[in-house]
Amino acid sequence: MEHSNPEMGLTGLDHSPEKTQSPPNPNHFIPRSYQVKVFEVAKRKNTIAVLETGAGKTMIAVMLIKHISEDMIKSNGKRKLIIFLAPTVNLVTQQFKVIKDSTTLEVGEYYGAKGVDEWSRSCWEMEVQTHDILAMTPQILLDALRNAFLSLEMFCLLIFDECHRATGNHPYTKIMKEFYHTSGNRPKIFGMTASPVIRKGVSSTMDCENQISALESILDSQVYAIEDRAEIEAYIPSTVQTCRFYEKAWLLMNLGLKDEMEALWSKYASMLELQREVPSQYQYYQDIDDKIKMLRKRMSNDYMKILYCLNDLGLICAYEAVKVCLENAFEVEEEFQFYRGSSLKLKYFLDEVLHIIEGFLQSCMQLDNNICTDFEFDYIKAHDLGYISPKLHELLQIFQSFGSGSQVPCLIFVERIITANVIERYVKKVPCLSHFTVSYLTGSNKSVGALTPKLQKETLESFRSGKVNLLFATDVVEEGIHVPSCSCVIRFDLPKTVRSYVQSRGRCRTSESQFILMFERGNKKQIDQVFDIIRSEYSMTETSRNRDPEVCILRDCNFEETKAYYVNATRASVTADSSVSLIHRYCEKLPGDKYFIPKPTFDFEISEGLYQCKITLPPNAAFQTTVGPLSSNTHLSKQLVCLEACKKLHEVGPWMIIFSHLSKSLQKMI
CATH of the domain at 640: 3.30.160.20
Nearest to 613 by CA among 591, 645, 587, 653: 645
- pLDDT of 298-319, one tens digit each? 999 999 999 999 999 999 999 9
- pLDDT of 128-142, one tens digit each? 999 999 999 999 999
* Residue that finishes a domain, picked among 179, 206, 235: 235
- Do residues 333 and 303 both lie within one domain? yes
- Domain range for 344: 252-373
- Do residues 222 and 256 both lie within one domain? no
- Quick check: is 341 in a domain? yes
Query: Domain holding 198: CATH number?
Result: 3.40.50.300
What share of the chain has pLDDT > 90, as a percent? Answer: 48
Q: What is the arithmetic mean of pLDDT over 93-101?
A: 94
Tell me if 109 sits within 8 A of 497, measured CB to CB. no
Nearest to 244 by CA among 438, 378, 391: 391
Query: What is residue 246's DSSP assignment?
Result: E
Q: What's the burial of 251, exposed, middle or buried (CB within 10 Å: 0-12/13-18/19+)?
A: middle
- Do residues 224 and 282 both lie within one domain? no
- Do residues 185 and 88 both lie within one domain? yes
d(CA 485, CA 431): 25
* Residue that finishes a domain, picked among 355, 373, 391: 373
- Do residues 208 and 257 both lie within one domain? no
- Do residues 218 and 353 both lie within one domain? no
- Do residues 185 and 259 both lie within one domain? no
Beta strand ranges found along 502-622 (DSSP E): 513-520, 564-566, 573-575, 601-607, 610-616
Which residues is 207 bridged to in the sheet?
none
- Do residues 59 and 168 both lie within one domain? yes
What mean pLDDT is reported for the chain?
A: 83
- Quick check: is 613 in a domain? yes
- Quick check: is 67 in a domain? yes
Which residues is 110 bridged to in the sheet?
136
What share of the chain has pLDDT > 70, as a percent? Answer: 82
* Residue that finishes a domain, picked among 373, 398, 424: 373
Q: What is the arithmetic mean of pLDDT over 512-540?
A: 92
Q: What is the arithmetic mean of pLDDT over 492-506?
A: 91
pLDDT at position 661, please? 37
- Quick check: is 312 in a domain? yes
* pLDDT score of 195 more than 60: yes
- pLDDT of 372-387, one tens digit each? 444 446 888 888 878 8
- Do residues 119 and 185 both lie within one domain? yes
Query: What is residue 507's DSSP assignment?
Result: T
Tell me if 521 sits within 8 A of 247, measured CB to CB. yes
Tell me if 497 sits within 8 A of 533, measured CB to CB. yes
- Do residues 581 and 644 both lie within one domain? yes
Q: What are phi and psi of 304, to 5 degrees?
A: -65, -35
- Quick check: is 381 in a domain? no
d(CA 136, CA 113): 12
pLDDT at position 329, please? 80
Q: How many domains does the chain have?
A: 3
Using pLDDT thresholds of 50, 70 and 90, give the confidence band for residue 280: low
Q: Exposed e or buried b for every residue in 136-151, given b needs 16+ CB within 10 A?
A: bbbbbbbbbbbbbbbe
- Do residues 587 and 656 both lie within one domain? yes
- Quick check: is 535 in a domain? no
- Quick check: is 321 in a domain? yes
- Do residues 86 and 163 both lie within one domain? yes
Using pLDDT thresholds of 50, 70 and 90, give the confidence band for residue 544: confident
- Quick check: is 645 in a domain? yes
Tell me if 388 sits within 8 A of 316, measured CB to CB. yes
